[in-house]
């Protein structure tokens, strides 16, 4: 009887631990496989310039981005797609997620050539960009990465998401039209160079680790304590 009780307690503690880890890892997090193909998105929304699953972008921001992206495509042949979602898996870099989505939507080098994917995960405060080979001829990786990592990331960390995408698309538009790069906002550069604060994802990871350690300890001690308590009973 005691052995069966201890087994149930052990399995219960392990199940609790696994359940907690699953909740931490998957709550609100999207996988690339969760995002429809562009054709499906277009059939539902009639456009693919701005895909907002985050529900934090204003109607005016989405309208402005779609208008700018459409005119830019007509002028240069380069198509810009802005994707805003709530969050991705904590352990996956935003650049990796964006690269995987870019490959899903544009499976060949020819399909990728004139494409730009600008990505933002709002609850993670993370940004990234992917560009095709033809785009790189006018938009070097150094400028593209600066748009994501400085122009967009600084306001995104302050939860100014509309500002992040508006300023990102404005700088991108300037360069793709063949004009000189205006550069990142000074505050964004200073933030990148001097910030010693932990990022949101680092803080969340640290907190999650603490709770997991506590649950592991409980999973070990609870069956032992129960066993000794039962042994002490007459």
Residue pair 40/48 in contact (Cβ under 8 Å)? The answer is no
* Residue 108: how many other CB atoms lie within 10 Å: 8
Dist. CA 155–CA 171, nearest whole Å: 14
pLDDT at 3: 47
Spatial distance between the Cα atoms of 225 and 231, rounded to a whole number of angstroms: 10
In sequence order, what DSSP letters do the residues of 2-62 get, joined into one string?
HHHHHHHHHHHHHHHHHHHHHHHHHTTEEPGGGSPPHHHHHHHHS--SEEE-SS-S-HHHH
Q: Using CA atoms, how far apart are residues 166 and 172, in angstroms rounded to an integer?
A: 10
What pLDDT is recorded for position 216? Answer: 61
Tokens of 105: 């939507």
User: Which pLDDT belongs to residue 210?
Assistant: 47
Q: Distance between CA 120 and CA 84 in Å, rounded? A: 5
Look at residue 143 in the predicted model and tell me its pLDDT: 98
Element housing 79 (H / E): strand 79-85
Ramachandran assignment for 81, one of left (phi > 0), alpha (psi -120 to 50 degrees), beta (any other): beta
Report the pLDDT value the prediction gives residue 186, as an integer from 0 to 100. 78
The β-bridge partners of 50 are: 82
* Cβ atoms of residues 34 and 99 within 8 Å: no
pLDDT at position 5: 46
Q: Torsions phi, psi of 233, nearest 5?
A: -75, 145
Per-10-residue mean pLDDT for the chain, 234 residues long?
Answer: 47 41 54 94 93 94 97 97 94 96 98 98 96 98 97 95 97 97 77 46 47 59 63 64
pLDDT at 149: 96
């Amino acid at each position: 009887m005691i052995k069966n009780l201890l087994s149930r307690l052990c399995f219960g503690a392990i199940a609790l631990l696994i359940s907690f880890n699953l909740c931490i890892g998957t709550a609100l997090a999207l996988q690339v496989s969760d995002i429809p193909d562009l054709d499906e998105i277009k059939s539902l929304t009639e456009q693919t310039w701005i895909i907002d699953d985050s529900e934090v972008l204003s109607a005016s921001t989405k309208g402005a981005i779609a208008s700018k992206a459409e005119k830019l495509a007509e002028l240069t042949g380069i198509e810009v797609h802005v994707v805003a979602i709530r969050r991705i898996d904590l352990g996956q870099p935003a650049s990796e997620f964006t690269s995987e989505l870019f490959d899903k939507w544009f499976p060949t080098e020819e399909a990728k050539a004139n494409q730009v994917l600008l990505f933002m995960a709002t609850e993670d405060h993370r940004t990234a960009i992917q560009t095709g080979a033809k785009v790189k001829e006018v938009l070097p990786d150094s400028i593209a990465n600066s748009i994501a990592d400085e122009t967009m990331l600084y306001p995104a960390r302050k939860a100014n998401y509309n500002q992040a995408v508006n300023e990102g698309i404005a700088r991108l538009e300037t360069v793709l039209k063949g004009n000189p790069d205006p550069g990142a906002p000074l505050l964004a550069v200073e933030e990148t160079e001097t910030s010693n604060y932990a990022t949101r994802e680092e803080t969340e990871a640290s907190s999650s680790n603490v709770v997991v350690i506590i649950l592991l300890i409980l999973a070990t001690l609870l069956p032992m304590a129960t066993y000794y308590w039962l042994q002490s009973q007459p």
